Amino acid sequence: MARKTKKRTRAEVPTPLDPKLKRRDAMTKLGWYGAGAVAALGIGGALAMDFSSKLSEGDLTKIGQGVPTIVQIHDPSCGLCRSLQKETRAALKQFDGDAFEYLVANIKSTEGAAFARRMGLPHVTLVLFDADGQHVHTVQGVTPRDTLEASFRRHLNL
């Protein structure tokens, strides 16, 4: 009769689903997460700056505060208005930042709509004011930047 031996067998230990994370892998993941966080903060900061500049551009109380002012009567859903705004911004880059105050009268806001009614002008229009807030000139319709630049120079008497 064969004799049964009692051999001790090593119990199998279940392996974890994720192998132990190595330092190099952890540093790589940390780098990617850090880069993502920096990108998110950068985008958030840019959006915040854009928002604050739009708030500043919408402050129509700046008219007549000692600086010549250009006000665009603007409808944000209008393609022609966006084209005029693009051309205006390009033309203004040719001037010193303190030469003009550029403002936007958004006709979707109560202040912008009231301004447009008071001036009796439609959207896709630029209204040029002197430093004292007197209406000097009006530019209607999408206008090329070189023509706008010439109008702005005449407005400043350059």
CATH fold label, 60-156: Glutaredoxin (3.40.30)
pLDDT tens per residue across span 48-79: 444 434 445 778 888 888 889 999 999 989 99
Greatest extent of the chain over all pairs of C-alpha atoms, in Å: 122
CA torsion sign, 79 to 83 to 84 to 86? positive
pLDDT of residue 55: 45
pLDDT of residue 41: 66
Provide the 3-class DSSP secondary structure of residue 102: strand
pLDDT of residue 34: 72
pLDDT of residue 16: 55
Spatial separation of the C-alpha atoms in residues 130 and 32, rounded to whole Å: 53
pLDDT tens per residue across span 96-146: 877 888 999 999 989 989 989 998 998 899 999 998 989 999 999 999 999
pLDDT of residue 72: 92
Q: Average model confidence (pLDDT) for the chain?
A: 79
Q: Where are the domains positioned within the chain? A: 21-57, 60-156
| pTM across the whole model | 0.63
